[in-house]
Structure 1
Amino acid sequence: MAELPKAEWTRREDLAKLVEVLGRENLRWVGGAVRDTLLGNPVKDIDAATPLTPDEVVARLKEAQIRSVPTGIDHGTVTALLPGGPVEITTLRKDVSTDGRRATIAFSDDWREDAARRDFTINALYADPVTLELTDFFDGLTDLEERRVRFIGDPRERIREDHLRILRYYRFQARFGYTLDEEAERACAELAPMLKGLSRERVGWELQHLLSVDEPTATVQRMYQQSVLGVVLPETGDREIVAFEKLVEAECAAAAPRSAIRRLAALLPPEPKAAEQVAARLRLSSAQKQRLATAADRGMPPGDPHALAYRLGREQAIDRLLLSGEDPAPIVDWPIPRLPLKGGEIVARGITAGPEVARILQAVEARWIEEGFPGRARVEALLGEELSGKSPG
């Protein structure tokens, strides 16, 4: 019998207490924590499955003085708030009906039945919390070893149950898969139009996670070639795919942190208005919308990196430089300066507060940037020139 390797999280005392409270026979670790431990990857979130109903879980946690939150109690999920981090505990389930966007479920006490409703074989591995023995109903261990993302059962049936599984498939394939499952690829391409019926928030969330993968280029290329990407990003064309490939290469060469928003910008035409429309369609936050539009405004060469960083901020300047094929190294650790001049100083020199003060301040700032951010003495000289009307031009 295969076993889960002992990892740091499997030795947590608070998890041992959780097992004691709910009963070893009533708990199995499942999902990402199991999969990532087997791959030797860091584990972020821990999920557990149980035949106990949500009410029973809450009652036992309360009796043991463990705080819980009903994060998805209608779907059987309760989050236990433990000292070492939260654990999502979900009652075994089976689907009663699905419409591609949401499922009506019923609770179950059958582990295989619960596994059968999951998406991919590599996500349906259960580990005994004490012995760490693995239960693998659908040969997920082999798929994990061969780095293949395979749907459980008929991929078309799985996708019809939840259309978002198309994007999930590509995300998992980009992250874990080296071996392509041809049946899954055909099913995703064939049923891609179903993505149109999903909520924009879900599509936006899944796209961002896909674009956050270390190396998504090959997957994004296939999505484009298979006409899947065009369903959710019809703005993307051949030129944008090339820009995306170059951006990922530039990020790697510069050892720059990956950014889903920067990569999304590469997949869009270099037009701020188009970026704003996409951001609204995908229900991105205001900050994400602003960053996407700024990254898309790249029709002109970025110019001096320091001036760009001063005007846009470091993060957005790095976006623009990488998207333009420029090296962001000069500004990565550069302390962005502040103009050593305030409007009150101009008023003190006899200028009436108002538009003229703002004009002079802007003129001094523009020359200060152009001269490479000189010190206070030069700024005072620039101010004197502006006040005396001796500025260039």
Structure 2
Amino acid sequence: MTDLLEAPWMHREDLAALVAALGVDNARYVGGAVRDTLLGLPVKDIDMATTLLPEAVIERLGGAGIRSVPTGIEHGTVTAILPHGPVEITTLRHDVSTDGRRATVAFASDWREDAARRDFTINALYADPLTGEIFDWFGGKADLDTRRVRFIGDARQRIREDHLRILRYFRFQARFGSTPADEEAESACAELAATLKGLSRERVGMEMMNLLSLPDPAPTVRRMEELGVLAVILPEADPKALAALVEVEHVRPDALRRLAALLPAQPSLAEQVASRFRLSAAQKKRLSLAAARDGEPGEPRALAYRLGREAALDRLLIAGTDTSALTDWEIPAFPLKGGQIVARGVGAGPDVARILRRVEERWIAEAFPDAARVEALLDDVLAEARA
């Protein structure tokens, strides 16, 4: 396990200035930055917890010349804008009430109390910003050693506080977990799976897309099906199709393509799922195009010309077809315009469009020859039309 003091980010000058402004006794690093550093993984975001109230955080940062944004001040979060990236600073909290969708919190001053309200043991690790000392009240370091994703305290209680923690559990299991998974966590997720119906579709969709963007989510998605969780949020899904896609992917993992692989080849159903997950119009269109697959996708370059590179890759990879023909290949522009056909004596109107389509189809079938060949193809089509 990596020593925290060996991490380059721990020695950033802008972070040192931030800690000095808050006071070393008032701030600790927490969560993902600590967890990922201990695992030897790259650190993307840095979060801090503090005993200071949000107003005091803003005042101290301002006094040190550090710009801040009250990004979630009602929940105690202020974001410090630093030269090497923003840092979220959140006042210690404890839950006053929860209903599975939102929590009412009160500010606290006890570090352990703040840790106790977090979801998993591996996310409740705090670190002294100067010495790198780790504060671990719930066995998070031991769980990191064994790659065990475990809820803090009673798993069912943690889920009742926030139903989205079911999906967060599977995302963290896919990213960090080993098998067999924590029995209590899986049992609680299966028992309370129906509570996911009470969450906003957007939150569910976002969490599902985050899961699908991981290197290999297929075993976890299959386990979600076995435990009855997948049936609640995506009953149409076929985990076997996802596993097949992951095996043949040679490009950057794409969550939307993986979602398309999970779904049957039914465009109307794909559009329903896109609406359910509150996806953008562009994402809905792409999902629908992927779902319009029917049998073998056909010649890769012809498919890319008709649908675009991204949609073609979706179809080809879901079908398990070789995509190397598209590597470094630029989709060409059809070198024939309607005006050229009119100049050959064809009256402007629907006849021009029909001839244009016929020449284009032959051009595609011949693998996109040059303009001289297109002229010859036009001669052939015109001769046939006159005949």
Amino acid at match of 2:136: D
What is the CA distance between 1:383 and its match in structure 2?
2.4
Question: Relative to structure 1, is the Cα distance of residues 143 and 376 closer, same or farther in structure 2, using a 3 angstrom cutoff?
Answer: same
Within the alignment, does 1:20 sit opposite 2:15 as a pair?
A: no
In structure 2, how many angstroms separate the alpha carbons of the residues matched to 1:384 and 1:66? 71
TM-score (normalizing by structure 1): 0.94
Question: Relative to structure 1, is the Cα distance of residues 127 and 353 closer, same or farther in structure 2, using a 3 angstrom cutoff?
Answer: farther
Number of the residue aligned with 2:303: 308
Number of the residue aligned with 1:187: 188
Question: Relative to structure 1, is the Cα distance of residues 346 and 63 closer, same or farther in structure 2, using a 3 angstrom cutoff?
Answer: farther
In structure 2, how many angstroms separate the alpha carbons of the residues matched to 1:19 and 1:12? 11
Per-residue CA distance 1:320-373 (angstroms, 9 max, x = gap): 111111111211321211112233333444445443333332222211111100
User: Is the CA contact (8 Å cut-off) linking 1:3 and 1:133 kept in structure 2?
Assistant: no
Gaps of 5+ in 1: none
What is the CA distance between 1:3 and its match in structure 2?
5.0
Partner-residue secondary structure (3-state), 2:220: helix
User: Is the CA contact (8 Å cut-off) linking 1:50 and 1:92 kept in structure 2?
Assistant: yes
In structure 1, how many angstroms separate the alpha carbons of the residues matched to 2:52 and 2:335? 65
Partner-residue secondary structure (3-state), 2:101: coil
Within the alignment, does 1:322 sit opposite 2:317 as a pair?
A: yes
TM-score (normalizing by structure 2): 0.96
Aligned-residue Cα RMSD (Å) equals 1.7
User: Is the CA contact (8 Å cut-off) linking 1:35 and 1:123 kept in structure 2?
Assistant: yes
User: Is the CA contact (8 Å cut-off) linking 1:67 and 1:80 kept in structure 2?
Assistant: yes
User: Is the CA contact (8 Å cut-off) linking 2:50 and 2:90 kept in structure 1?
Assistant: yes
1:362 pairs, out of 337, 350, 357, with 357
- Decide which moves more: 55-64 or 340-349: 340-349
**1:208-357 → structure 2 map (5 Å cutoff):** 208-236=209-237, 240-251=238-249, 255-357=250-352
Partner-residue secondary structure (3-state), 1:188: helix
Per-residue CA distance 1:229-264 (angstroms, 9 max, x = gap): 00000112xxx222122111122xxx2221111111
Number of the residue aligned with 1:46: 46
Amino acid at match of 1:130: L
- Decide which moves more: 341-350 or 190-199: 341-350
Question: Relative to structure 1, is the Cα distance of residues 13 and 347 closer, same or farther in structure 2, using a 3 angstrom cutoff?
Answer: farther
Per-residue CA distance 1:81-107 (angstroms, 9 max, x = gap): 111011111111110000000000111
Number of the residue aligned with 2:111: 111
Amino acid at match of 2:79: T
In structure 2, how many angstroms separate the alpha carbons of the residues matched to 1:366 and 1:60? 68
Amino acid at match of 2:4: L
2:381 pairs, out of 358, 380, 386, with 386
Partner-residue secondary structure (3-state), 2:168: helix
Amino acid at match of 2:27: L
In structure 2, how many angstroms separate the alpha carbons of the residues matched to 1:344 and 1:126? 70
Amino acid at match of 2:44: K
User: Is the CA contact (8 Å cut-off) linking 1:5 and 1:38 kept in structure 2?
Assistant: no
Partner-residue secondary structure (3-state), 2:69: strand
Number of aligned residues: 385
Number of the residue aligned with 2:91: 91
Per-residue CA distance 1:205-242 (angstroms, 9 max, x = gap): 00001111111121111110111100000112xxx222
Partner-residue secondary structure (3-state), 1:389: helix
User: Is the CA contact (8 Å cut-off) linking 2:5 and 2:131 kept in structure 1?
Assistant: no
Question: Relative to structure 1, is the Cα distance of residues 344 and 227 closer, same or farther in structure 2, using a 3 angstrom cutoff?
Answer: same
User: Is the CA contact (8 Å cut-off) linking 2:296 and 2:319 kept in structure 1?
Assistant: yes
Within the alignment, does 1:197 sit opposite 2:195 as a pair?
A: no
Amino acid at match of 1:147: R
- Decide which moves more: 350-359 or 128-137: 350-359
